[in-house]
Amino acid sequence: MMLDRLQALADRYEKLSELLCDPDVASDTKKLRDYSKEQSDLQEPYNAYMEYKETLTQYEDAKVLQGEKLDDEMREMVKMEIEELGEKLEELEERVRVLLLPKDPNDDKNVIVEVRGAAGGDEAALFASDLYRMYNRFADSQGWRVEVLDASENDLGGYKEIIFMISGKGAYSKLKYESGAHRVQRIPVTESGGRIHTSTSTVAVMPEVEEVEIEIHDKDIRVDTFCSSGAGGQSVNTTKSAVRVTHIPTGIMATCQDGKSQNDNKAKALQVLRARIYDIHRQEEEAKYAGERKSKVGTGDRSERIRTYNFPQSRVTDHRIGLTLHKLDTVMSGEMNEIINALTVAEQAELLERENLA
């Protein structure tokens, strides 16, 4: 079944190559864009399948050669070649299985991340600021760009809430598993008795949504303007540059005050609003497949506790896959690849089983 699917994929890839050379397609901007994107998406599995077919041919030729009369030295060489090609075939089979998995259409998108202090008061807000720095440093290591859209600080410099966009290819594919409740265990700076406290901050990761994907009509929104404010509620400016946009049909709101102008803030608030509306639709669709088909990894929601950061023991544990690392400082400095890769592999294993490709 896997080979049949791969051959169908290869046939489609080659058909697209023909279509892209067709003058009628070349003169049609939409078709040219759509076909080019489809072929680009098929490029990696197509190349892997071609390599698999070539390796399989070499393996079968070596097996035939093994059955012929050979001297001892040649027989040993053929035997070694068969072993090497057999191992390569296994690796390629595993690779193409993963590449055949249905791709999340949002994987290549930028993300809008919301981090909020939850249970724990000031300590939760301080941990929210730590999480923001962690994601900021990870984004920097990936060559991505971070832009703060809105933030509300407490008197200690923590974030009651911070909303920011991370722009870069594949941002959603790596950060989509971060949604959920993040628990911290440590001695707060506000604790005079040296006792360890447990607090939580919540994270929501949403793909950036284009206007054509979620259309918001002017008649369906209410726009309020007010003066931007900073920590402690002090006025940052006296002009009404901050913007709050409310989607009347759903009651969903988005606020932005970090832009240079009212128009800039409105545009950013609409970005967040579209992402929130899309995220609700996505969660409703995923709820239809709850139960046995619900992923253990998933993309989570704010109420699901996904990870614990234990500072006294320098331990971080992801509860969804039972992964524990004793290098909390490294993770908090933005080196998140080990956790992200483990979550990706876990979801791929679930999908392979679900798609009968395991």
Query: What pLDDT, in 10s, does the model give residues 68-111?
Result: 888 888 888 999 999 999 999 999 988 888 888 877 788 888 99
323-325 sheet: strands from edge to edge: 145-153, 159-167, 111-117, 197-207, 180-186, 305-310, 315-318, 323-325
Residues 277 and 310 in one domain: no
Predicted pLDDT at 240: 67
For the residues 29-45, what does the mean pLDDT come to?
A: 90
Predicted pLDDT at 349: 84
Predicted pLDDT at 20: 93
Predicted pLDDT at 290: 54
Predicted pLDDT at 301: 53
Residues 10 and 81 in one domain: yes
Predicted pLDDT at 296: 57
- Domain boundary, last residue among 265, 284, 303: 284
Contact indicator for 322, 196 with CB cutoff of 8 Å: no
- What CATH number corresponds to the domain at position 222? 3.30.160.20
Residues 149 and 276 in one domain: no
Q: Range of 273's domain?
A: 218-284
CA 322 to chain centre: 20
Q: How far apart are CA 2 and CA 93, in angstroms?
A: 9
Predicted pLDDT at 299: 53
Residues 187 and 118 in one domain: yes
Residues 244 and 324 in one domain: no
**In sequence order, what are the beta bridge partners of 305?**
181
Residue 61 lies in a domain: yes
Residues 128 and 202 in one domain: yes
Q: How confident is the model at residue 256 (pLDDT cuts 50, 70, 90)?
A: confident
Predicted pLDDT at 356: 63
Residues 85 and 131 in one domain: no
Residue 105 lies in a domain: no
DSSP secondary structure code for residue 200 in this structure: E
The residue type at 138: F
Predicted pLDDT at 293: 46
Predicted pLDDT at 66: 86
Q: Which one is predicted more confidently, 284 or 356?
A: 284
DSSP secondary structure code for residue 192 in this structure: S
Range picked from 32-36, 226-230, 280-284, 350-354 for highest mean pLDDT: 32-36
- Domain boundary, last residue among 230, 259, 284: 284
Residue 229 lies in a domain: yes
Query: What pLDDT, in 10s, does the model give residues 310-333?
Result: 999 999 999 999 999 999 999 999
Range picked from 35-44, 134-143, 283-292 for highest mean pLDDT: 134-143
- Sign, CA dihedral 12-14-15-21, equals positive
Query: What pLDDT, in 10s, does the model give residues 223-254?
Result: 888 776 654 444 445 556 788 889 988 888 88
Residues 50 and 187 in one domain: no
Query: What pLDDT, in 10s, does the model give residues 163-205?
Result: 999 999 889 999 999 999 999 999 887 776 778 889 999 999 9
Residue 106 lies in a domain: no
Predicted pLDDT at 233: 42
Residue 183 lies in a domain: yes
Residue 104 lies in a domain: no
Residue 307 lies in a domain: yes
Per-residue pLDDT for 51 more than 70? yes
Residues 119 and 202 in one domain: yes
Predicted pLDDT at 292: 43
Instruction: Read off φ and ψ for residue 222, nearest 5 degrees.
Output: -120, 130
- Domain boundary, last residue among 284, 302, 324: 284
Residues 299 and 203 in one domain: yes
Query: What pLDDT, in 10s, does the model give residues 260-318?
Result: 788 888 888 888 888 988 888 877 776 665 544 455 565 555 567 899 999 999 999 99
Residues 184 and 56 in one domain: no
Predicted pLDDT at 267: 85
Per-residue pLDDT for 222 more than 90? no
Q: How far apart are CA 42 and CA 38, in angstroms?
A: 6
Distances (CA, A) of 98 to 48, 93, 289, 320, 349: 11, 9, 21, 21, 9
Per the structure, the count of domains in the chain is 3
Residues 69 and 115 in one domain: no
Predicted pLDDT at 294: 53
